[in-house]
Structure 1
Amino acid sequence: MYSALYYGNKDIRIIEKDIPKIGAGEILIKVEASGICGSDVIEWYRRDKVPLVLGHEVTGVIADAGKDVTGHKVGDRVCVAHHVPCNTCKYCIDGHQTMCETLRSTNFDPGGFSEFLRLSKINVKNGIYLLPDSVGFEEGTFVEPLACVVRGQRLAGVKPGDTVVVIGSGLAGLLHISLLKATGVTRIIATDINEKRLDYAKKFGADYVFNAGNKDLNLSETVKEISDGFLADVVILATGAGSAILQGLKSARRGGIVLFFGAADEGAMLPLSINEIFWRTEITLVSSYAGSILDHRLALEFIRTNRINVKDMISERLPMRDIARGFELTAKAQDSLKIIIKPDRLDA
């Protein structure tokens, strides 16, 4: 089979390797679609692990099932989770499945940017979801990223009547905006420095959009004008830019919540004054990482029922032979949103 081996954003090599062999309780997936995630292009996060085959937003068909596999069969259309929890440790019991050591050590063999991948026994047990006939393979690749968004908003305690500011309108921000709209949030305010992305933010449900690069913009005062004199109930940081973080912290009301969702630059520190931001404000900082089994199931249901339109977020569909182009577009973070890689036979 062919796989895409990642060394860096500008160094991705198509290699040929053996199709993984499966054992008892394991499953072989024929990959039909894999999404390129924004985290895939964070080079500092990968540099000590390269070379490796990336790709964790995956759908496909079960090509083979090992002995003792129950509940799944050859031919099933599925979406699969690369990280899965044990469901028995302290983290899992306390509802923090994404902090589970098992979740952080599990993965695909080799990765979603391949023609085939092997699911280990625990991945089969806790990380495989049947795709309804109404959900296409490409749409199914959004289950994993949307699950992360579902979890983040749940941890942030978002409520329908809230005023929510989403800082950053890339793919993650658009998924947040779409989920906010689907769950009845009354005021959704979105920012970005890219006008095209602000157009997308409007399309997917933002009530107000503002260019964060506008030097005349005072976001906190603007939020007050929109929200009857109050700052935001919840601020979602869907970008890790330092200026955006500071802007977000200043936009949360007393007793409000700031959700740290997007990864920041390597070594980034919080640029804040404890007295100005926290003392007497009761502002809560919340972080979220990945998605639990429940989050994946909820995400799939949002997609199945068309409450969240992910199909229109796909900007490019590329064969694996053009994956370098997909990484280039994702790393530039300009007009492209979600890029889907379709594994292909290079020797066909």
Structure 2
Amino acid sequence: MRIAMYYNNRDVRLEEMPTPQIEPGELLVKVIASGICGSDVMEWYRIKTAPRVLGHEITGEIVEVGEGVERYKVGDRVFVSHHVPCNTCHYCLNGYHTACEMLHTTNYDPGGFAEYLRVPRINVDRGVFLLPDEVSFEDGVFIEPLACVVRGQRVARLQPGQTILVLGSGIAGLLHIALARAFGAGRIVATDINEYRLNAAQHFGADVAIHAEEDVPARLRQANEDRLADLVIVCTGALPAFNQALQSVDRGGTVLCFAPTEPGISLPVPVNDFWRNSITLMPSYGNSPLDAVVAIELIRARRVPVHEMITHRLSLAEIGLGFQLVADAKESIKVIVEMDRGVDS
């Protein structure tokens, strides 16, 4: 089968490897569509395990069912989660599924940028979801990133009527904007350094878009009746954005760290301000199976307009271009790879 082997952001090669053989309890899935995630181009992180087949936002069709699998059949249209929790450890039992050691170590074989993938038994048990008829293979690639956003807003306890500030209007920021709008947020303000993405932020629900190099707290007050934000969501790893977040959160508010920085970065936190003003600083990583279920329903019900976020559809042979588009982060929103797509399609 054909696969895309990642060496670095500028070197993603079309190669061949044997189609995986499945064991009892496993599935073989023909990948139909696979999204390129912003984390796929975090070179400092990905290059540690290169060369490897990346890709974790996939939809496809089951083509082989292992002995003992009863919930799924050949021909089922599915989304497959690459990371799944054990559901029995201390962290899972306390609701912190994304802190589970098993979630951090599970994956499918070899990765989403391949024509076929083997779904291990535990992923079959906890990470395979049937696509509703209303959800296309294309739209289904948003299930994983939207599920992460669902979890982020859930743990941050977003409430209707709140003022939301989203720092960074890439795909994660745009999904946060669209979901916050669907959940009844009040005023939504977005930032970015790119005009293309600022325009996209307003298209998908932001009331105000601010260039990130401006005085964001001051502009926020101007747009929000002299108040700061109830919830600040940091969707970029740029350190200035984290500093802006700490300056832009209102008393009693929350800063949600949704994106990692490069390694070795420390954030200076004004502890006394947080203590006196009852400010909450919290992270959100990944998603749980429940969040995936919610994301599927949001897409099925058209509550989040994910289809409009697709800007590029590429063949597997063009995946190098896709990585460049996502890494450049200038004039793309969501780049997806369609396995059956021809180069000239």
TM-score, with length taken from structure 2? 0.97
1:78 offset after TM fit, Å?
Answer: 0.5
1:143 aligns with 2:143: yes
- Name the SS of the counterpart of 2:318 in structure 1: helix
**2:316 corresponds to:** 320
Q: Partners of 2:188 and 2:257 in 1: how far apart? A: 17
**1:331 corresponds to:** 327
**1:14 corresponds to:** 14
**2:108 corresponds to:** 108
Give the conservation status (yes or no) of the 8 Å contact 2:53–2:112. Answer: yes
**Matched residue count:** 343
Say what the alpha-carbon RMSD is for the aligned residues: 1.4
- Name the SS of the counterpart of 1:34 in structure 2: strand
**1:270 corresponds to:** 267
**1:55 corresponds to:** 55
**2:93 corresponds to:** 93
- Name the SS of the counterpart of 2:79 in structure 1: strand
Give the conservation status (yes or no) of the 8 Å contact 2:252–2:279. Answer: yes
Q: Partners of 1:108 and 1:230 in 2: how far apart? A: 46
Give the conservation status (yes or no) of the 8 Å contact 2:210–2:219. Answer: no
1:106-152, Cα deviation, whole Å (9 max, x unpaired):
00100000000000001000001111111110100000000000000
| Larger mean Cα displacement after TM superposition, 193-202 or 279-288 | 279-288
1:154 aligns with 2:154: yes
**2:127 corresponds to:** 127
**1:27 corresponds to:** 27
1:273 offset after TM fit, Å?
Answer: 3.4
Q: Mark the runs of 5 or more structure 2 residues left unpaired by the alignment.
A: none
**Identity score, percent:** 53
Give the conservation status (yes or no) of the 8 Å contact 2:315–2:342. Answer: no
TM-score, with length taken from structure 1? 0.96
Give the conservation status (yes or no) of the 8 Å contact 1:36–1:340. Answer: yes
| Larger mean Cα displacement after TM superposition, 259-268 or 48-57 | 259-268
Q: Partners of 2:222 and 2:327 in 1: how far apart? A: 35
Give the conservation status (yes or no) of the 8 Å contact 2:32–2:340. Answer: no
Q: Mark the runs of 5 or more structure 1 residues left unpaired by the alignment.
A: none
- Name the SS of the counterpart of 1:280 in structure 2: helix
1:59-98 aligned within 5 A: 59-98=59-98
1:285 aligns with 2:306: no
1:226 offset after TM fit, Å?
Answer: 3.0
Q: Partners of 2:184 and 2:341 in 1: how far apart? A: 44
**2:183 corresponds to:** 183
**1:303 corresponds to:** 299
1:11-39, Cα deviation, whole Å (9 max, x unpaired):
11111111100111100000000000000
- Name the SS of the counterpart of 2:84 in structure 1: coil
Q: Partners of 1:346 and 1:19 in 2: how far apart? A: 21
1:225 offset after TM fit, Å?
Answer: 3.1
Pick closer, same or farther for the CA change 1:242–1:345 going to 2, 3 Å: closer
Counterpart selection for 2:246 from 241, 246, 249: 249
- Name the SS of the counterpart of 2:276 in structure 1: coil
Give the conservation status (yes or no) of the 8 Å contact 1:321–1:344. Answer: no
- Name the SS of the counterpart of 1:58 in structure 2: strand
Q: Partners of 1:322 and 1:11 in 2: how far apart? A: 12
Pick closer, same or farther for the CA change 1:346–1:174 going to 2, 3 Å: closer
**2:337 corresponds to:** 341
1:345 offset after TM fit, Å?
Answer: 8.8
Pick closer, same or farther for the CA change 1:263–1:280 going to 2, 3 Å: same
Q: Partners of 1:346 and 1:12 in 2: how far apart? A: 18
- Name the SS of the counterpart of 2:314 in structure 1: strand
1:343 offset after TM fit, Å?
Answer: 1.8
- Name the SS of the counterpart of 1:48 in structure 2: helix
1:207 aligns with 2:172: no
1:312-342, Cα deviation, whole Å (9 max, x unpaired):
1111000000100000111001011111011
Q: Partners of 1:113 and 1:221 in 2: how far apart? A: 44
